[in-house]
Structure 1
């Protein structure tokens, strides 16, 4: 599941992923992502909930299509992406693949959500 987070600083877009993220979840999220891309600079806070279980049916394929498509078309618009999670594998994965992510990427623990918001806005 993908939810939009309220109470984000000006110019920062926040999402929370939880449970299993299926292809339908990502297709439903696409219009929201398109609106974000219309803002110019892209600053994101992504919270990965402790109950996140990974991708469900069609989730990985849809995530790759959405993610790579967005990054290719809007690569220079990405400024900062804050990933917020207490799962060790998320932190390791983000550090391993940071070179692929446009803009700056920083990982925060769940207790550091306010710091992640502040950093993303900076």
Structure 2
């Protein structure tokens, strides 16, 4: 499941990812992502919950299509991405592949959500 987070600082978009994310959920989220990508500055807080299981049918393919397209079209707009999670495999993946994400990227634990919001806004 993908859901927008309320109570974010001005200029920051937050969303929570939980459970198993299907291709249909990614397609449903696409209009939200397209609105976000119209901004000159993209600042994100992505919370990946403990019950996140990865992608379900078609989820990975849709994520790659949306993500690669966003990076190519809006590379310079990405300013800060805060990833909030307690899942070790996400942290390891982020450390290995974080260089591919434009702008600054930082990892926070779920207990540090408020700090992540402030960092993304800064």
Q: Structure 2-normalised TM-score?
A: 0.99
Counterpart-to-counterpart distance in 1, 2:62 and 2:105: 22
Counterpart-to-counterpart distance in 2, 1:96 and 1:45: 19
Identify the residue that residue 51 of structure 2 maps to in structure 1. 51
Question: Following superposition, which runs of at least 4 residues in structure 1 exceed 6 angstroms of deviation?
Answer: none
Identify the residue that residue 88 of structure 2 maps to in structure 1. 88
Identify the residue that residue 120 of structure 1 maps to in structure 2. 120
Output one character per residue of 1:24-45: Cα deviation in whole Å (capped at 9) or x when no partner: 0010000001111112100000
- Figure out how many residues of one structure are paired with residues of the other and give that number: 122
Identify the residue that residue 109 of structure 2 maps to in structure 1. 109
Counterpart-to-counterpart distance in 1, 2:9 and 2:25: 25
Q: Note the C-alpha offset of 1:60.
A: 0.5
C-alpha root-mean-square deviation of aligned residues, in Å?
A: 0.5
Residue 89 of structure 1: SS of its match in structure 2?
Answer: helix
Output one character per residue of 1:54-91: Cα deviation in whole Å (capped at 9) or x when no partner: 00000000000000000000000000000000011111
Residue 40 of structure 2: SS of its match in structure 1?
Answer: coil
| Structure 2 unpaired stretches of 5+ | none
Identify the residue that residue 12 of structure 1 maps to in structure 2. 12
Q: Are the equivalent residues in 1 in contact too, given 2:39–2:77 (CA < 8 A)? A: no
| Structure 1 unpaired stretches of 5+ | none
